[in-house]
Amino acid sequence: MSVVLVTGGSGFIGSQCILQLLSAGHRVRTTVRNPQREGDVRALLKQAGTDPEDRLSFVAADLQYDPGWSEAAAGCDYVLHVASPFPPGIPKNEDELIIPARDGTLRVLRAARDAGVKRVVMTSSFAAIGYGHEQRTMPYDETDWTNLDGTDVSAYAKSKTLAERAAWDFIAREGKGLELCVVNPVAVFGPLLTSDMSPSILLIQRLMSGSLPACPRLYFGVVDVRDVADLHLRAMTHAAAKGERFLAIADNILSMQDVAMVLRNRMGTNARKVPTRQLPDWLMRVVALFDPAARLILPELGKKKGATNEKARRLLQWAPRSSEEAIVATAQSLVELGLLKGAAASA
């Protein structure tokens, strides 16, 4: 089996990638910014039913600095570049997100090229595909790119777009045979392996805890983290994935109200606080004055952006779980990890 480097192994997607790689028999090396996270990662893998023993190793490396990346990539056959900054709110300067995402990606690619890695699979985002455009009815696909000159393009969307653009440019100009493919997920849900919550998981947590009084007029695609990891592994070795982008979405886009109704219908008393009425846009803007997370979604109110997974299904035989299954798995793990005040331990 192969030796695979996973960047950001303590994160939501990264930890699931490690779990699946180990289950497939690979040896895994992962980067963490803080070496003290090694114990946390090993513990969550054991809790998930996998004891990596000596098949998992750690290297301290930060996307913003050079040290550690050559060591991390040395002797690896493949790299899954999952690590990327995500803001808790709107940064004061967009370069706080753009520079680490772009320069960090280039650090990883240079280290991979110099180490003789065969292929890098990069985690990008739908944010690099579907933003800055006029409203349209056609679903987005892998030929689309976020328009950085469009209105209301967030710093996060810019960072993902510029980082992915930089990656493709690097491969074309300096790759020297290094292969690249990219996975572009929509909102990632699914079971947590740790209590660290991504923004999409935080959304479910807020719905279930009752901290959202109603559902913002928000629409988005959903994909399960287990399927995102599976798509990374398929793209890592499949010949047809070389030089390709793959949108990761389960099925149709959902409204926040749709998500709320899934929780109400499937989570019993644990969903008793989930609101089902719609929050007026004007009230959401008032909430955003005091809540940085709410401020991030203001430009997306009322916008419907469809996307297709046809390419991943056709080329890589990818078969994702339904949106509903991903949402329910998220909610169940929040309950099991005790991350909902007053929630019972069963669904």
Enumerate the active-site residues: 160
Contacts (Cβ under 8 Å, ≥6 apart) of 289: none
Residue of 127, 123, 189, 199 lying closest to 156 (CA atoms): 127
| Distances in whole angstroms, Cα of residue 167 to Cα of each of 16, 102, 123, 183, 345 | 23, 8, 11, 13, 44
DSSP bridge partners of 216: 279
Q: Using CA atoms, how far apart are residues 35 and 41, in angstroms rounded to an integer? A: 10
DSSP 55: G
DSSP assigned state of 59: E
C-beta separation of 39 from 15 below 8 A = no
Are 8 and 72 in contact by the 8 Å Cβ rule? The answer is no
Joined together, the tokens standing for residue 263 give 């929780």
111 contacts: CB under 8 Å, gap ≥ 6? 69, 70, 72, 73
How far is Cα 147 from Cα 157, in angstroms, rounded to an integer? 10
Crossing angle between the packed helical segments 12-23 and 37-47, to the nearest 10 degrees: 60
User: What amino acid is encoded at 164 in this protein?
Assistant: E
Residue 142 · residue 129 · CB < 8 Å = yes
* Ramachandran angles phi, psi of 115, nearest 5°: -90, -5
C-alpha to C-alpha distance for 70 and 9, rounded to whole angstroms = 17
DSSP 8-state symbol, 257: H
